[in-house]
Amino acid sequence: MLFVSTRGQVGKVSSAHAIKEGLAGDGGLFVPQSFPSLSLEQILSLNTLSYEQCAATILNYFLTDYSPAELAECATAAYSPLKFGKNPAPLCKVGDRTDVLELWHGPTLAFKDIALQILPHLMTKAQNKTGTDTKIVILAATSGDTGKAALEGFADVPGTEIIVFYPEDGVSPVQKLQMVTQQGGNTKVFGIHGNFDDAQRGVKEIFGDTGLAAELKDFGWEFSSANSINWGRLVPQITYYFKSYADAVANGRIEPGEKVIFAVPTGNFGDILAGYYAKKMGLPVKRFICASNSNNVLTDFINTGVYNKLRELNKTVSPSMDILVSSNLERLLFDLTDNNSAQVAEWMTQLNTAGQYKVTSDVAERVRDLFFAAWVDEMETKETIGRVYNDFEYVVDPHTAVAWRAAQKYRLLSSDDSYIIVLSTASPYKFCQTVLEGLGKAEGLDESQPFEAARRLTEETGLPIPHQITEMEHKPVLHNEVIGAGEMAANIKKTLEIPVENS
């Protein structure tokens, strides 16, 4: 299996090269040259496997320069019970025709753990396979969850440095504390004055800076990414779509071969794209519900065919989705244009120069056939948290609430009673204040009291406080630098101890 760039200006590479490099040299994203196809029998058989066995099976289709034994070793190390408990992705029955796929049982209480616990293992093996002895600088821009998950995954991994940039005022108090208290001799965290798109744009520009890359190489370093622009971040997420379907059949929730709907809260389009790839591989999916908060650039795109980032970024109670430039959409467009890299490159240029682009009518129609898009405002999000708890005694975080409400909007508009799996992307304990507001139990609390809020959430719901939260209350702050978005490259060099005279 070889990988090509969505912009078509670099040659084919192996999976190890794609994972190590992160972003293609032409600014595009790596995608597989072809996709495997699984039969229904193969899909249903995944229910008999443990999660790590299932992950190794899926990865084996794409990472063909890794041996099956190597992938099994990576998966076993990543998804150990010590990190994820008995099941990394349990499917929970909540409504009559709606289940919730809980993806937040990992060490940082967010779905990003499922990819970022295995990526360091894939990355270190990629180094050996590509025959380079340089050390890797992992760069990550985060809207809240990727940063901590990447830090947790790469902390003290030999031969790596992990540098994370987050919007200083754009993450929840718990998300921020998780990052700034991160331990590890190779970890560095910077707040930036700006939003997630500023951080993401800065990281992409750094990847495209050939002069900086050459300078780092002289000192034995090279860049890679922990964001979902890296294929090694995206491909592990395909696993839980297949596993949840097999589990739904085994649980008697659906008949074998029955088409299902996935409702996905998404900002950068990575999580939902993994589902699209699963469908492309043969998973019986009727439709995807693309759920957005009031930063509804994806909703507008799916409904109109016009992608327009020229709008104000809203700071919301679901901060991991506060994004206006959805990087992984480029991969979808590459696929829906039948790998027309020139067309994709033209649209991406228009986005960078004019702030918007319009896809052709046939592509727009294909997008609408695949995706139903809806957005959910702040009041609806909180109301949904309360309603789900009152109706089902089930507690959801604000991102999951956005997906739940978008699924309700789909049912209302379509009268479709198909079975829906709602992807739950974070523990409610990462957003206690908002959850308590949704439950009507936040009186007297504010965002400066995250641990008090956690204790109250336990009192109100009976849910145990995760140890990751309680342990953090007494951890010292280790990363307190806040920089301008234009200072990211300079601070990377400072972190790597590259002398100023070489800048």
For the annotated catalytic residues, the residue numbers are: 112
Distance between CA atoms of residues 8 and 329, nearest Å = 16
Spatial CB neighbours of 473, under 8 Å, sequence gap ≥ 6:
451
Task: List the alpha helices (DSSP H) in 102-145.
Answer: 112-116, 119-130
**Strands 285-292 and 260-265, bridge-based pairing:** parallel
Contacts with 36 (C-beta within 8 Å, 6 or more apart), sequence order: 61, 62, 281
**Quick count: other Cβ atoms within 10 Å of Cβ 140?**
27
Q: Are 238 and 121 in contact (CB under 8 A)?
A: no
Q: Which helix (H) or strand (E) holds 261?
A: strand 260-265
* Packing angle of the helix pair 488-495, 196-207 (nearest 10 deg): 60
* 295, 300, 306, 307: CA torsion to nearest 10: 20
Which 8-state DSSP code applies to residue 34?
Answer: S
Task: Say how many C-beta atoms besides its own lie within 10 A of residue 393's C-beta.
Answer: 10
DSSP states along 410-465: HHHHH-----EEEEE-B-GGGSHHHHHHHHT--TT--TT-HHHHHHHHHHHH-PPP
> Encoding tokens for residue 148?
């901590």
What angle, rounded to 10 degrees, do the helices at 231-250 and 270-280 form? 60
Q: Tokens 């071969």 correspond to what residue?
A: 257
Give me the DSSP letters along 285-302. Answer: EEEEEEEE-S--HHHHHH
What's at 119, amino acid-wise? L
- How many whole angstroms separate alpha carbon 411 and alpha carbon 365? 21
Which H/E stretch holds residue 275?
helix 270-280
